[in-house]
């Protein structure tokens, strides 16, 4: 009886050992296969750059009139409207159209000045108006700003704010830039493959980086200059063959 049980145990152990060896062989071969795949690929980056010009500009001008007497508020409004007309005339003279010039509302505010006992000693009535310029004629903006400065010499209290320049046609250049980035990635892979004595095959995977727009000559900021640089980097894994 004991001999029979012993034989059964040996058979079971032998079976388990065979299964273990088979599984070990599977995992070893799987590991070797994965290692082979890893060794037969190349991860490279492809860069594409474009120099572009902004196609839209936004520019705002504030103008201010002030007075001491509340009874003069009506006259202040009239003066503010006259200043607005002068600014708009100067903008048209610079080449901007009516649709590009967008007058805003005129805001009223009152400032009070009190002594240490909170007694009112003076007050100022202030009107601030704003005109926005939105244009695709971006090269006109610098000339327009210079022309407005002549109104300051005539006594207008205006704030000639810096314009912002924007490139909005990224979708028009995306396909060609991605094509160029992929081409440059393959060139880099070919150089690696040549040094390694292998050849570049098809693409295993690709990851597109984000498009970055920057003003020319700076590492950050994209609204101060008309000229801009557009950049994209792709990460591509190529198969390598013997």
Tell whether 177 and 91 lie within a shared domain.
no
Question: Looking at the 3D structure of the chain, how many domains does it have?
Answer: 3
pLDDT on residue 117: 82
Tell whether 125 and 94 lie within a shared domain.
yes
CA atoms of 92 and 135, how far apart (whole Å): 12
Region 32-47 average pLDDT:
67
pLDDT on residue 10: 45
> pLDDT digit string (tens) for 40-97?
888 999 999 999 999 999 999 999 999 887 768 889 999 999 999 999 999 999 999 9
Q: Which domain holds residue 29?
A: 1-39
pLDDT on residue 31: 31
> pLDDT digit string (tens) for 145-176?
999 999 998 899 999 999 999 999 999 999 99
Tell whether 150 and 192 lie within a shared domain.
no
> pLDDT digit string (tens) for 96-150?
999 999 999 999 998 878 788 888 777 889 999 999 999 999 999 999 999 999 9
Q: Are 227 and 53 in contact (CB under 8 A)?
A: yes
Q: Are 131 and 65 in contact (CB under 8 A)?
A: no
Bridge partners of 199, per DSSP, are 241
Helix (H, G, I), strand (E, B) or coil at 138: coil
The alpha carbon of 156 is separated from its chain's Cα centroid by a whole number of angstroms, namely 37
Question: What's 98's domain CATH number?
Answer: 3.30.70
Helix, strand and coil content of the chain, in percent to the nearest 5, comes to: 45, 40, 20
Q: Quick check: pTM over 0.85?
A: no
Tell whether 191 and 97 lie within a shared domain.
no
């Amino acid at each position: 009886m004991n001999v029979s049980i012993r034989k059964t145990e040996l058979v079971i152990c032998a079976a388990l050992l065979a299964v273990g060896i088979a599984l070990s062989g599977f995992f070893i071969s799987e590991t070797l296969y994965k290692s082979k795949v890893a060794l037969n690929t190349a991860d490279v980056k492809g860069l594409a750059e474009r120099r572009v010009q902004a196609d839209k500009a936004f520019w705002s001008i504030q103008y201010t009139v002030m007075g001491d007497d509340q009874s003069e508020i009506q006259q202040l409004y009239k003066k503010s409207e006259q200043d607005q007309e002068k600014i708009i005339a100067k903008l048209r003279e610079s080449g901007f159209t009516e649709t590009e010039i967008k007058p805003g509302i005129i805001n009223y505010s009152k400032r009070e000045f009190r002594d240490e006992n909170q007694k009112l000693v003076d007050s100022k009535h202030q009107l601030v108006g704003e005109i926005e310029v939105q244009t695709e004629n971006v090269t006109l903006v610098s000339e327009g700003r210079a022309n407005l400065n002549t109104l300051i010499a005539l006594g207008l209290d205006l704030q000639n704010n810096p314009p912002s320049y924007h490139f909005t046609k990224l979708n028009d250049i995306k396909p060609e830039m991605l094509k160029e980035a992929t081409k440059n990635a393959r060139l880099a892979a070919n150089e690696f493959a040549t040094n390694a004595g292998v050849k570049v095959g098809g693409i295993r995977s690709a990851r597109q980086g984000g498009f970055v727009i920057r003003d020319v000559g700076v590492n950050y900021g994209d609204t101060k200059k008309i000229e801009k640089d557009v950049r994209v980097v792709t990460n591509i894994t190529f198969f390598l063959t013997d």
